[in-house]
């Protein structure tokens, strides 16, 4: 299990405006809470179908902050017009977001490549790649137009670094995020906007951990047994630190990249992997 830690972030992001997509999920919700604890005003965003879970994130942020420095918006990241409209409304009502955690994504199916369903592959690429590009370009355009310097952190994965069995579309999409990050970092550096990526390995507990354990067990391939408990043990055994990481351990890196402490860091992908390659 993750080691105990002092997760207090101080007030290093006082006066900043942060946008977190995929904020109804485990990592997105944790990031939103930690950003608001660090002093930022936080806009949490997710798909309209996740509105109820997004409400829970808002409640958690308000409890953590003791005030109302949180706002929720819903839009589909693959819809360019809806995304631009939502970010424009944030810029109009609050300020152009100068911190963006570009986190929305889906895992997709767990199926060997020769049987992978093309409709699912298209969905994963559309959400994870096109959606990430849509959010990043829309937010960057608002920042550049307002002359705002800031930071964009894109969510990649160790699946995009080394590939994961039975996750061809997801691995492809997360590798694309790393390339996108390096390219965008060069384009946006003249405007004072840093762009970086974070690649977690196995992170838990939570819905994504449980889902991947169950679906890898059901995939019926040589890599994992059919018992989810044994799959979980095998996954932990792949990690040199012999545990999965916590949501906070991922978000620690996001907050560092978002802060001025990382002011000379751009175009990099940081692996949060416990030593996994």
Residue 4 has pLDDT above 50, yes or no: no
Mean pLDDT across 2-17: 65
pLDDT of residue 6: 43
CATH number for the 17-201+246-263 domain, one of 3.30.465.10, 3.40.718.10, 3.40.50.720, 3.40.1190.20?
3.40.50.720
Q: What are phi and psi of 141, to 5 degrees?
A: -60, -40
pLDDT band (50, 70, 90) for residue 10 = low
Tell me how far CA of residue 276 lies from CA of 6, 57, 208, in angstroms.
24, 30, 18
CA distance 275 to 12: 28
Q: Is residue 11 pLDDT above 80, yes or no?
A: no
Question: Can you tell me the distance from the alpha carbon of 118 to that of 165, in angstroms, rounded to the nearest whole number?
Answer: 17
Q: Mean pLDDT throughout 55-73?
A: 92
- For residue 120, give both structure tokens: 């699912």
How far does the chain reach from its first CA to its final CA, in angstroms?
Answer: 20
173-206: b (≥16 Cβ within 10 Å) or e: bbbbbbebbbebbeebeeeebbbbbbbbbbbbeb
Q: Whole-angstrom Cα distance, residue 155 to residue 28?
A: 10
pLDDT at 7 over 80: no
Active-site annotation holder among 116, 170, 223, 244: 170
pLDDT digits (tens, 9 = 90+) for 90-128: 998 899 999 999 999 999 999 999 999 999 999 999 999
Give one word for 238, left, alpha or beta, with left for phi > 0 and alpha for psi -120 to 50.
Answer: alpha
| Confidence band of 162 (pLDDT split at 50, 70, 90) | very high
Model pLDDT, residue 238: 94
Q: How many helices (H) and strands (E) does the chain have?
A: 10, 7
Query: Which residue ranges make up each domain of the chain?
Result: 17-201+246-263, 202-244
253 has pLDDT over 60: yes
Residues in contact with 122: Cβ distance below 8 Å, sequence separation at least 6, in sequence order:
none
pLDDT of residue 21 exceeding 80, the answer is yes
Backbone angles phi, psi at 46, to 5 degrees: -165, 175
H helix or E strand, kind and range, residue 46: strand 41-46
Q: How confident is the model at residue 8 (pLDDT cuts 50, 70, 90)?
A: very low
pLDDT at 277 over 90: no
The token pair that represents 183 in the structure block: 């390219």
pLDDT of residue 139: 97
| pLDDT value of residue 261 | 96
| pLDDT of res. 67 | 79
The string of DSSP codes covering 37-90 is HTT-EEEEEE-GGGHHHHHHHHHHHHHHHSS--EEEEE--TT-HHHHHHHHHHH
As a whole number, mean pLDDT of residues 251-262 equals 97
Residue 170 annotated among the catalytic residues of the structure = yes
Mean pLDDT of 8-33: 90
Which pLDDT tens digit goes with each residue over 23-41? 999 999 999 999 999 999 9
231 CB-near residues (< 8 Å, 6+ apart): 213, 216, 217, 224, 225
Average pLDDT along the chain: 94
Q: What are phi and psi of 186, to 5 degrees?
A: -70, -45
| Tens-digit pLDDT profile for residues 199-233 | 999 999 988 899 999 999 999 999 999 999 999 99
Positions of E strands within 135-210: 150-155, 193-200
- Residue 64: its pLDDT value, please? 87
Please choose, from the candidates 87, 67, 201, the residue with its C-alpha nearest in 3D space to the C-alpha of residue 137.
Answer: 87
Q: What is the pLDDT of residues 133-160, one digit of tens each?
A: 999 999 999 999 999 999 999 999 999 9
Compute the average pLDDT of residues 267-273.
98
DSSP category for residue 246: P
Record the pTM: 0.93
């Amino acid at each position: 299990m993750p080691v105990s830690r002092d997760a207090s972030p101080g007030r290093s992001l006082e006066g900043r405006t942060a946008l977190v997509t995929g904020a109804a999920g485990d990592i997105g919700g944790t990031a939103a809470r930690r950003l608001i604890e660090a002093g930022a005003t936080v806009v949490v965003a997710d798909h309209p179908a996740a509105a109820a879970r997004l409400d829970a994130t808002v409640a958690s942020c308000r409890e953590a902050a003791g005030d109302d420095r949180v706002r929720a918006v819903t839009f589909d990241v693959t819809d360019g017009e809806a995304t631009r409209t939502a970010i424009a409304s944030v810029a109009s009502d609050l300020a152009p977001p100068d911190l963006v955690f570009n986190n929305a994504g889906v895992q997709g199916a767990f199926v060997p490549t020769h049987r992978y369903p093309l409709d699912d592959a298209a969905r994963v690429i559309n959400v994870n790649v096109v959606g990430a590009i849509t959010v990043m370009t829309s937010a960057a355009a608002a920042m550049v137009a307002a002359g705002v310097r800031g930071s964009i952190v894109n969510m990649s994965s160790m699946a995009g670094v080394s590939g994961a069995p039975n996750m061809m579309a997801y691995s492809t999409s997360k590798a694309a995020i790393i390339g996108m990050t390096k390219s965008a970092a060069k384009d946006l550096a003249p405007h004072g906007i840093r762009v970086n990526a974070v690649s977690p390995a196995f992170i838990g507990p939570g819905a994504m951990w449980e889902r991947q354990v169950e679906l890898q067990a059901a995939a019926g391939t040589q890599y994992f047994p059919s018992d989810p408990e044994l799959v979980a043990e095998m996954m932990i055994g792949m990690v040199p630190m012999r545990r999965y990481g916590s949501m906070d351990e991922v978000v620690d890196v996001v907050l560092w990249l978002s802060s001025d402490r990382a002011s000379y860091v751009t175009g990099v992908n940081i692996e949060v992997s416990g030593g996994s390659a």
